[in-house]
Amino acid sequence: MKTVLEGRAWVFGDHVSTDQILPGRFLERPIEEMGRYAMAGIDESFPEKLAPGDFVVGGANFGCGSSREAAVLALKQAGVGAVIARSFARIFFRNAINNGLPAVIVDDTAGIRTGDRLLIDLTTRVVTNLTTGKNHAILNLTDTSLEILRHGGILAYTLARLRKGEGG
Protein backbone atom coordinates (compact mmCIF):
# COMPACT_ATOMS: atom_id res chain seq x y z
CA MET A 1 0.00 0.00 0.00
CA LYS A 2 1.13 3.51 -0.75
CA THR A 3 1.72 5.70 2.28
CA VAL A 4 1.03 8.96 0.42
CA LEU A 5 -2.39 9.27 -1.19
CA GLU A 6 -3.75 12.17 -3.22
CA GLY A 7 -7.21 12.81 -4.57
CA ARG A 8 -10.28 15.00 -4.60
CA ALA A 9 -12.63 15.33 -1.65
CA TRP A 10 -16.27 14.27 -1.84
CA VAL A 11 -17.97 15.67 1.27
CA PHE A 12 -21.05 13.98 2.77
CA GLY A 13 -21.44 15.30 6.34
CA ASP A 14 -22.34 13.82 9.72
CA HIS A 15 -23.99 10.49 10.57
CA VAL A 16 -23.67 8.87 7.15
CA SER A 17 -25.08 5.38 7.66
CA THR A 18 -24.03 2.13 6.05
CA ASP A 19 -27.49 2.06 4.45
CA GLN A 20 -26.71 5.36 2.75
CA ILE A 21 -23.27 4.10 1.70
CA LEU A 22 -24.77 0.92 0.22
CA PRO A 23 -28.57 0.66 0.38
CA GLY A 24 -29.96 -2.75 1.30
CA ARG A 25 -31.49 -3.30 -2.12
CA PHE A 26 -27.96 -3.76 -3.54
CA LEU A 27 -26.68 -6.26 -0.97
CA GLU A 28 -27.38 -9.29 -3.15
CA ARG A 29 -25.18 -7.98 -5.97
CA PRO A 30 -21.78 -9.59 -6.62
CA ILE A 31 -18.94 -7.82 -4.79
CA GLU A 32 -17.44 -6.79 -8.14
CA GLU A 33 -20.61 -4.78 -8.91
CA MET A 34 -21.06 -3.07 -5.54
CA GLY A 35 -18.92 -0.08 -6.48
CA ARG A 36 -21.62 1.00 -8.93
CA TYR A 37 -23.90 1.62 -5.96
CA ALA A 38 -21.50 3.31 -3.53
CA MET A 39 -23.18 6.23 -1.75
CA ALA A 40 -26.43 5.49 -3.64
CA GLY A 41 -28.46 6.35 -0.54
CA ILE A 42 -27.26 9.96 -0.86
CA ASP A 43 -26.05 10.46 -4.45
CA GLU A 44 -26.68 7.72 -7.01
CA SER A 45 -24.34 9.42 -9.52
CA PHE A 46 -21.37 9.40 -7.10
CA PRO A 47 -19.51 6.45 -8.70
CA GLU A 48 -19.68 8.14 -12.12
CA LYS A 49 -18.09 11.34 -10.78
CA LEU A 50 -15.43 9.64 -8.65
CA ALA A 51 -11.88 9.37 -9.96
CA PRO A 52 -9.83 6.40 -8.71
CA GLY A 53 -8.15 7.33 -5.44
CA ASP A 54 -10.53 10.16 -4.52
CA PHE A 55 -11.59 10.50 -0.89
CA VAL A 56 -14.93 10.39 0.85
CA VAL A 57 -15.06 12.98 3.64
CA GLY A 58 -17.54 12.71 6.46
CA GLY A 59 -18.14 14.50 9.71
CA ALA A 60 -18.99 12.73 12.94
CA ASN A 61 -20.05 9.07 13.21
CA PHE A 62 -19.35 8.04 9.61
CA GLY A 63 -20.57 4.51 8.86
CA CYS A 64 -23.17 4.34 11.62
CA GLY A 65 -26.08 1.93 11.43
CA SER A 66 -25.71 -1.72 10.60
CA SER A 67 -22.48 -3.71 10.66
CA ARG A 68 -22.72 -4.05 6.89
CA GLU A 69 -19.21 -4.92 5.67
CA ALA A 70 -20.49 -4.55 2.12
CA ALA A 71 -20.57 -0.75 2.61
CA VAL A 72 -16.77 -0.74 2.86
CA LEU A 73 -16.47 -3.12 -0.09
CA ALA A 74 -18.67 -0.83 -2.20
CA LEU A 75 -16.41 2.15 -1.48
CA LYS A 76 -13.32 0.11 -2.34
CA GLN A 77 -14.87 -1.27 -5.53
CA ALA A 78 -15.86 2.26 -6.57
CA GLY A 79 -12.21 3.33 -6.27
CA VAL A 80 -12.30 5.38 -3.07
CA GLY A 81 -8.72 5.77 -1.79
CA ALA A 82 -9.62 6.59 1.82
CA VAL A 83 -12.40 7.88 4.03
CA ILE A 84 -11.64 10.90 6.20
CA ALA A 85 -13.93 11.84 9.09
CA ARG A 86 -14.05 13.36 12.58
CA SER A 87 -15.17 9.97 13.91
CA PHE A 88 -16.30 6.57 12.68
CA ALA A 89 -18.79 4.06 13.92
CA ARG A 90 -16.61 1.41 15.53
CA ILE A 91 -17.68 -1.51 13.33
CA PHE A 92 -17.32 0.52 10.13
CA PHE A 93 -13.80 1.52 11.19
CA ARG A 94 -12.78 -2.12 11.84
CA ASN A 95 -14.38 -3.27 8.56
CA ALA A 96 -12.49 -0.54 6.67
CA ILE A 97 -9.10 -1.38 8.17
CA ASN A 98 -9.66 -5.13 7.84
CA ASN A 99 -10.46 -4.66 4.14
CA GLY A 100 -7.52 -2.33 3.47
CA LEU A 101 -9.43 0.94 3.19
CA PRO A 102 -7.80 3.75 5.20
CA ALA A 103 -10.29 5.29 7.64
CA VAL A 104 -8.57 8.49 8.74
CA ILE A 105 -9.69 10.48 11.77
CA VAL A 106 -8.90 14.21 11.85
CA ASP A 107 -9.98 16.85 14.35
CA ASP A 108 -12.15 18.82 11.92
CA THR A 109 -13.50 18.34 8.41
CA ALA A 110 -15.66 21.49 8.28
CA GLY A 111 -13.15 23.40 6.12
CA ILE A 112 -12.95 20.68 3.48
CA ARG A 113 -15.16 21.23 0.44
CA THR A 114 -16.14 18.88 -2.35
CA GLY A 115 -13.51 19.21 -5.07
CA ASP A 116 -10.64 20.21 -2.77
CA ARG A 117 -7.40 18.37 -3.53
CA LEU A 118 -6.19 16.45 -0.49
CA LEU A 119 -2.93 14.69 0.33
CA ILE A 120 -2.83 12.01 3.01
CA ASP A 121 0.62 11.12 4.31
CA LEU A 122 0.35 8.09 6.56
CA THR A 123 4.03 8.30 7.50
CA THR A 124 4.02 11.92 8.72
CA ARG A 125 0.41 11.45 9.91
CA VAL A 126 -0.90 14.59 8.18
CA VAL A 127 -3.79 15.32 5.82
CA THR A 128 -3.05 18.43 3.76
CA ASN A 129 -5.76 20.31 1.92
CA LEU A 130 -3.76 21.33 -1.16
CA THR A 131 -6.53 23.72 -2.18
CA THR A 132 -6.53 25.76 1.05
CA GLY A 133 -3.12 24.88 2.49
CA LYS A 134 -4.60 23.73 5.80
CA ASN A 135 -3.07 20.71 7.57
CA HIS A 136 -4.94 18.22 9.75
CA ALA A 137 -3.15 15.82 12.09
CA ILE A 138 -4.16 12.19 11.69
CA LEU A 139 -5.47 11.13 15.10
CA ASN A 140 -5.53 7.37 14.51
CA LEU A 141 -3.84 4.73 12.35
CA THR A 142 -0.96 3.67 14.50
CA ASP A 143 0.63 0.33 15.27
CA THR A 144 -1.48 -2.64 14.23
CA SER A 145 -4.07 -0.69 12.22
CA LEU A 146 -1.35 0.85 10.10
CA GLU A 147 0.38 -2.51 9.64
CA ILE A 148 -2.90 -4.11 8.52
CA LEU A 149 -3.35 -1.29 5.97
CA ARG A 150 0.24 -1.64 4.76
CA HIS A 151 -0.48 -5.29 3.99
CA GLY A 152 -3.75 -4.45 2.21
CA GLY A 153 -6.08 -5.89 4.85
CA ILE A 154 -6.38 -8.34 7.71
CA LEU A 155 -6.13 -11.47 5.57
CA ALA A 156 -2.80 -10.49 3.96
CA TYR A 157 -1.52 -9.24 7.33
CA THR A 158 -2.38 -12.52 9.06
CA LEU A 159 -0.89 -14.63 6.27
CA ALA A 160 2.34 -12.61 6.41
CA ARG A 161 2.57 -13.14 10.17
CA LEU A 162 1.92 -16.87 9.79
CA ARG A 163 4.65 -17.12 7.14
CA LYS A 164 7.05 -15.45 9.56
CA GLY A 165 6.01 -17.88 12.29
CA GLU A 166 4.45 -15.11 14.43
CA GLY A 167 1.07 -16.79 14.83
CA GLY A 168 -2.31 -15.21 14.24
Strand order, beta sheet including 117-121: 103-105, 82-85, 55-58, 4-13, 117-121, 126-129, 135-137
pLDDT tens by residue, 132-154: 999 999 999 988 999 999 999 99
Q: Give the global pTM.
A: 0.94
Beta bridge partners of 55: 9, 82
* Res 71: pLDDT: 97
**98: part of which helix (H) or strand (E)?**
helix 90-98
CB 58 within 8 A of CB 42: no
pLDDT category at 1 given cuts 50, 70, 90 is confident
φ/ψ of residue 12, rounded to 5: -125, -15
CATH superfamily of 4-163: Aconitase, domain 4 (3.20.19.10)
CA-CA distance, 116 to 118, in Å (whole number)?
A: 6
* Res 167: pLDDT: 64
Residue 136 vs residues 49, 120, 131, 160: alpha-carbon distances, Å = 25, 9, 13, 32
Q: In terms of Cα–Cα distance, which of 46, 73, 39, 55 is closest to 120?
A: 55
Q: What mean pLDDT comes out for the span 94-98?
A: 97
Locate the domains of the chain by residue range: 4-163
